[in-house]
Amino acid sequence: MQTRHIQTDSLRQQVLEAGSGPLVLFIHGFPELGISWRAQVEALGQAGYHAVAPDMRGYGGTDKPEQREAYSVLHLVGDMVDLVRALGHSTCTVVGHDWGAPVAWHCALMRPDVFTAVACLSVPLQPRRAKGPPTVAMAAISKRAGLGELYINQFQAPGAHSVFEVDVEAGLRKGFWAYDGATPPELQSTGFIQPGENFISTVPEDAPLPPWMSADHFAEYVAAFEAGGFRAPLDWYRCIDLNWSLTAFLQDAQVRVPGAFMVGDRDPVRHYSGQHEAGLKALVPDLRSEVVVPGAGHWIQQERPEVVNGWLLKFLDGL
């Protein structure tokens, strides 16, 4: 594997890559980096694919535009189209996890000529809601259920990122632990936050690193977020209503390329996005695999690398 920088039309992107052959592009989520896919890049590179995992816009070694609106889904999909071309390819399979999953789904929705297959982890395709912006709907659902405020709504505040920047090490350690499959169920995050609390304060101070996270690997995350901060990553969340307004043309659209989906049965994200798993086949008619991994949490490609690698290679080999 190697790390290098690639200049695309409007962005300097840092990528982790290995191998040669058909291109497979890996899109990370929050709070992750291209290195979150290290096990997959290595395995697919050895299996005859050109595996590439960029630090996404606003993260790690990639450029971080100042304007909040520069983190819309149109920009994120555009970055991946540019990257495919800059890597010398015309098509690829796109793989996404967490926030990277909605980006990957939209890559397939918007440019099926480029992204000819899609595989996503943790977050199923969520259809555009015709009745109004997502944050309004999420706030109403949370209020009716009496669950507290969903962290996505809390992230809309202009200064929400400062909570993470007070102590980057603690914020990342707590975040990884609270969403991990090895964490006791009663201590896992639900994503809903009671008044007076925030994403970090709800997690015990002595939360350890997940069992799969080595100290050296964790130090890479800490160094990257201490240098780059959390403002840009949270701007992804602050654009979700903008994304809704920009994607009216995708209302009721289906993914027309082959697809696959995997989720851990103990992934806390299922508390608020799991409702969309049941309808995934209707949105992705050529859904060739839908797998629930027993005992796995949110960071599934790092928690269960062998399971994810085998699943991906089977999907790719069948294309």
How wide is the angle at C-alpha 275 spanned by C-alphas 272 and 276, nearest 5°? Answer: 110
- E strands of the chain, at which residues? 2-7, 12-18, 23-27, 50-54, 92-97, 115-121, 149-150, 192-193, 259-264, 287-293
Q: Is the dihedral of CA 230, 4, 76, 306 positive or negative?
A: negative
> Cα(207)–Cα(163) distance, rounded to whole angstroms?
17
Q: Which of 63, 98, 180, 235 is catalytic?
A: 98
Q: What letter would DSSP give residue 67?
A: -
SS3 call for 288:
strand
Phi and psi dihedrals of 257, rounded to 5? -105, 165
> Cα(244)–Cα(128) distance, rounded to whole angstroms?
7
The question of whether 5 is a catalytic residue gets the answer no
Give the strand pairing for 149-150 and 192-193. antiparallel
In contact, 270 and 239? CB cutoff 8 Å: no
Give the strand pairing for 115-121 and 92-97. parallel
Written as one letter, the residue type at 220 is: E
Q: Hunting for tokens 């991946």 — which residue is that?
A: 80
Q: Which of 50, 97, 106, 298 is catalytic?
A: 298
Q: What is the dihedral of CA 13, 232, 238, 190, to 10 degrees?
A: 100
The question of whether 298 is a catalytic residue gets the answer yes
In contact, 258 and 92? CB cutoff 8 Å: no
Cα–Cα nearest to 182, from 209, 150, 145:
209
Q: Which residues are catalytic?
A: 98, 298
